[in-house]
Structure formats: C-alpha cells, structure tokens
Structure 1
C-alpha cells in the first residue's frame, strides 16, 4: 500500500471519529478515568473513578467477573468527607442511593432504597 492511500485511510478514520465525537458530544479524553476507590466484597467488586472531565463514575461488577462489563454503571456522583474524615462517594439511581465509604480500613459500600439502608458490603469480605 502506498503512503498516499494509507494517509487517506487515516484521514477518513480520524474524520469519522471526530464526527462521531462531535455528534455524540463525548470527548475522547472524557472516557479516561482515575480510580478513586475500589472494593472487593462478597459477591461484588466496586470501583469509583473520576473521569477526565471531572465526573465521578460508579461501576459495580457481580462476582465472578472479568471486569469487561459492569452490572451497574452510574455517572454524576458526589464526594464529601463525613464527620469522621472518611470520604463518602454517593450515586443516585431512581429510588436507590449507593454510598462507597473510603475509611481508615478497607472501606464499605452501602445501598439505600427509599432512604432506608438495605445492604452493607464490607470491602475485604471475599
């Protein structure tokens, strides 16, 4: 394949990616993430990440998992310190609230439905 043909293919692919990015409104850099908190608990693996655009993302994987596709994926959470100095990441999904608590130990994940605690998973309980 000559250099001109290869350049044309690369230009087409790059242009298509740019059009899709502009159309969907998704920055390629927005997908990159930095893990803020991870938790391996009984039957679930949780990961809280901060995307390059600043958005927090909550991913829950049912165990066993290959970490290819999360069972639950939520964007737009908040992070705050509680009275004990722990970082609490909160994510809403309808009537459910998922709180990942980064404490001095391994951490924990709390699940609330209609503001009532329905599950507590302690990290390290595998």
Structure 2
C-alpha cells in the first residue's frame, strides 16, 4: 500500500501486515495520513493566565495579563510600578509581589497616603 505514497507532508509510510500501512509524521503534523497540523499552543506554556496565540508563520507566543511579563508570562510585575502612593509615600510589595502597602510621610495617612493629617486632632488647637 505504500507504493501509492498515501502519507502527506513528508510523512513516512511503513508497510504493515494484511495490506495495511502506517504513516509516521513529521513533528508538526498528525493524523492517520499526516493530514492535520499540530497546534503548537497545545504544548506551549503560558503561565499565570497568559494566552497562547499563533502568528502568521504559525509560531506560538504568549499574550500576558497586565500583572505579568516575560516570554511565557512567568514574571510577576511589581504593583508598585504604577506609583500608587501619593505625597511621596513609599510603596512596599509583599513577598509574592501580588499586593502593596504605602508607608506614608508623617503628615499623610490613608491606604495610598492620600489624606493630610489634621495636626489639631485629637486635641483642639489653641491660637
């Protein structure tokens, strides 16, 4: 049966018993006759919610969520990159780089150092 070259895309035909044959396919093709293109995204690792997309040449790449970067979305971006602390507050990330806290200068308070401390509280100012 291999004399008719049934295997597609440079697959190799191997004669089997009882007039049967088997195609061994190049790595990018699959199927009984090597007729189906293998989707490289099936084995391409995109981490932390990344999405695998194929370019026009059928090459895989990862599209990362806004919190990740890297070829495989393997690197977590610091939440401090956006400078979330106001009024010269210092941004400090947690160990996993998933959240932050702001260390505020003495005259400011709030989650992002957005509130000016009233120096007259809790006591009344006397002028």
Query: Which TM-score tier does this pair reach, normalised by the shorter chain?
Result: under 0.3
Q: Which has the higher contact order (CA 8 A, sep 6+)?
A: 1
Could you state the TM-score of these two structures normalised by the residue count of structure 1?
Answer: 0.24
Higher helix share: 1
The structure whose residues are more often strand, as a share, is 1
